[in-house]
Structure formats: C-alpha cells, structure tokens
C-alpha cells in the first residue's frame, strides 16, 4: 500500500497539469479586468497665440512596450484625459487601433509642439493605419470627439508636465 502512495501522487500531479486553460477574455467579455488610468502628468492644448484651450490629465507612454501597448484593451478613459506618446525619433508616425475597443482622436504633434493633424473618430479594433501628415515627435490620444468639442486644429500647440 505504501508503495502505491507515490505512484498515486504522481498520477494526481500528471492529471492536474493536463487541465485546459481558461479561455482568454474576448473584446466584449465583461469578466476582463479594466486597466486603470494612471495620471503621470498634465497636458494643455494652446492656441497659436498661447491662449489655453483645455488641460487634460495624461498617462505617458514611453519606451517600446508602453508605446506598442498604448490604450489597447481599455474600455474607458476618465473625462478630460488621454495618453501622451513620447516617441524616440522624429518621423512620420503611424498608429492603428488593433485591440483597442475605444474610438479615439489621435493627434500628431511636431517636435516644436505644434499640432500637425488629428485622425478623428478612429474605428475600434481596426488594423487600418492612421498617419501624421508630417514629421511628428509626440502623439496624443483622447476620446473620439475631443478635438471637435474643444476646436483643436493644426497649428495649435501642446505644453505638458510630469507629476
């Protein structure tokens, strides 16, 4: 009987390791855990003459991993908030909406902090690329409709600070 005990224990371990994995949450799955917004700083949109338009809380994405992830899998953003991407190079950057359930406004900003253009009301879960119309260094993602609501246009500027 004692000789069978180690064999029974081994068989139990073997069958426990063969259990199927739980399925990954799907885009509409209510059991998926919400990714919380993390306030890293503030960003103000300014008119060309320097007049403040609106200030938002920002989560800052810098580095390969944070930049690649962005707002993927987020199902909400707090009011007057967004994500600021600090890109390592100045170039004509492109973004896409794969794994992003929110419709966003994606604002491309030049190295001197001037708004170049905004891709408005981007389509959730789309693999279609949206691009800057010029050389950008910063990108600001906000809820869809944000730039229309506040009248943000090319030539406006941003000013941001970290907490």
pTM of the full structure:
0.80
Q: What would the CATH number be for the domain defined by 37-156?
A: 2.60.120.1140
pLDDT of residue 27 exceeding 70, the answer is no
Task: Give the start-to-end residue ranges of the domains of the chain.
Answer: 37-156
Query: Does 3 have pLDDT greater than 60?
Result: no
Which H or E run contains 12?
helix 4-16
CB 102 within 8 A of CB 74: yes
Least confident of 10-19, 81-90, 118-127, 129-138: 10-19
Residue entry with tokens 């060309």: 48
- Report, in this order, helix, strand and coil percent for the chain, each rounded to 5: 15, 35, 50
Q: Are 94 and 69 in contact (CB under 8 A)?
A: no
């Amino acid at each position: 009987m004692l000789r069978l005990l180690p064999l029974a224990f081994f068989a139990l371990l073997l069958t426990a390791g063969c259990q199927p994995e739980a399925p990954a949450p799907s885009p509409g799955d209510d059991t998926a855990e919400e990714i919380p917004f993390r306030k890293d700083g503030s960003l103000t949109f300014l008119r060309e003459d320097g007049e403040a338009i609106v200030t938002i809380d920002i989560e800052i994405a810098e580095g390969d991993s944070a930049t690649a992830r962005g707002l993927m899998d987020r199902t909400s953003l707090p009011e007057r908030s967004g994500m600021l991407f600090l890109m390592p190079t100045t170039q004509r950057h492109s973004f896409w909406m794969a794994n992003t359930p929110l419709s966003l406004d994606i604002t491309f900003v030049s190295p001197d902090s001037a708004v170049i253009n905004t891709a408005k009301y981007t389509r959730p879960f789309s693999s279609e690329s949206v691009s800057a119309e010029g050389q950008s260094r910063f990108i600001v993602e906000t809820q869809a409709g944000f730039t229309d609501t506040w009248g943000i246009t090319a030539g406006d500027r941003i000013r941001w600070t970290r907490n």
